[in-house]
Amino acid sequence: MQRKIIVSILLILFVFSTLASAQSVQEMTLLDKIIAVEKIFYGSEQTGSLIDRTSKLERDIYGVETQDALMAKLDRIYIYTKENSSLAPSFITKLNAVEWALTHDITEQPAKTRLENLERLLLGNAETDSFDDRINKLMKLSYTDGQVNLTNITVFKDTLVKIKIATPLNTKTTRPGDVVVFQAAEDVYSDGYLVIPQGAQGLGKVTKVERSKNFGRDAKLEISFDNIEAIDGSTINTVLGDKAKEETKSLAKAAGATVAGMIILGPIGVVGGAFIHGQEVEIPVGAQMYIQTQADTEIFGLQVSEPAILN
């Protein structure tokens, strides 16, 4: 009998502990969701209460504010903005698809700015309707029946991605921990579907810096190339593996040492100046190289065999 009582008490404590933990995670998840959506639309986290920030998002996205509970509002906004299905692409996927169809390039500005730029390109001026109305109008102008064909696709491990550096790097000023921004220099396809569009942003970091030394010892940078954004808004983990190093060496050899200005050495990517002795390493914006996908990754790919109706 006593054993049953002890077990019952332990079960009750476990249930309360689990509920408290779940509630804490849920509150953090809601905050994470609103920050993620605000960064997509406005470029930065907004100020004010969650209620006011959610109301602003509803008005901007849908044109109306609902009376639903805060949790329901945020879940709906997050799903609309970021989550995909083959029948219902997310807002960010639609925006990526429209921008790629019209310019064959993806920019990393806030979605509000990207909408305005595309409207000026197509219509001559930026509109003021809800984000939803505006993206759907652009979709109708860019794709037959305003629809894109998405399908689940595998981006296989070791798929090569040609990138260009967007963050200037120099062993005189660069420090470990600095964020490194790069972009896809070319479209990447899998089974005929667009999976990484040109211009897609990737992020890495500087992990080690060595200044140049006496006796002709060159400076070195150690960089991790962590991930890149796919056409559907998800991220694909990437590395500077052996396959990418070989392709980068071939790229530098074909175009001359001054092109990427680099050779690739070491286990995760030590970048040293090509044919430079005892000098600092400088990697300018626009320097090109290759990275590769870290593992098989399931995403939604965009069918692009039928071109957009606008030239």
Which of the residue ranges 86-90, 118-122, 183-187, 264-268 would you say has the lowest mean pLDDT? 264-268
87 part of a folded domain: no
Tally the domains of the chain.
2
Same domain, 186 and 62: no
Give the model's pLDDT for residue 213: 59
Domain that holds residue 34: 2-76
Q: What is the mean pLDDT of residues 131-159?
A: 95
Residue 181 sits in the same domain as residue 281 = yes
Q: In this prediction, what percent of the chain has a pLDDT beyond 90?
A: 63
Burial 24-47 (b: 16+ CB within 10 A, else e): eeeeeebeebbeebbebbbeeeee
Residue 72 shares a structural domain with residue 159: no
Least confident of 97-111, 193-207, 262-276, 290-304: 262-276
Confirm whether 308 is domain-assigned. Answer: no
User: Considering 76, 99, 120, which residue would you say is the last residue of a domain?
Assistant: 76
H-only helix segments in the chain: 2-42, 50-62, 70-82, 91-103, 111-123, 131-142, 242-255
Is 253 domain-assigned?
yes
Provide the token pair at 27: 């509150």
Q: Say yes or no to pLDDT of 249 above 90.
A: no
pLDDT of residue 274: 39
* 46 and 170 part of one domain: no
Task: Give yes or no: residues 289 and 200 share one domain.
Answer: yes
CATH of the domain at 190: 2.40.128.260
**Is residue 240 one of the residues assigned to a domain?**
yes
Residues 160 and 294 in one domain: yes
pLDDT at residue 172 tops 50: yes
Q: Give the global pTM.
A: 0.81
pLDDT > 60? residue 78: yes
What is the mean predicted confidence (pLDDT) over 124-147? 95
In a domain, 289, yes or no: yes
Residues 70 and 186 in one domain: no
Residue 291 pLDDT exceeds 60: yes
271 with 165, same domain: the answer is yes
Quote the pLDDT of residue 265.
36
Higher pLDDT among residues 3 and 21, named by residue:
3
pLDDT higher than 90, residue 118: yes
Are residues 69 and 166 part of one domain?
A: no
Check pLDDT > 90 for residue 281: no
32 and 168 co-located in one domain: no
Task: Give yes or no for residue 132 having a pLDDT over 90.
Answer: yes
Q: Specify the DSSP element, H or E, that contains 207.
A: strand 201-210
Q: Are 30 and 78 in contact (CB under 8 A)?
A: no
Cβ density class 62-78: b for 16+ within 10 Å, e for less: beeeeeeeeeebbbebb
At 270, the pLDDT band (50, 70, 90 cuts) reads very low
Q: Which of 76, 108, 139 is the last residue of a domain?
A: 76
Residues 190 and 288 in one domain: yes
Are residues 160 and 70 part of one domain?
no
* 11 domain residue, yes or no: yes
- Note whether residue 137 is domain-resident: no
Whether residue 122 lies inside any domain: the answer is: no
Among residues 58, 76, 94, the one where a domain terminates is 76
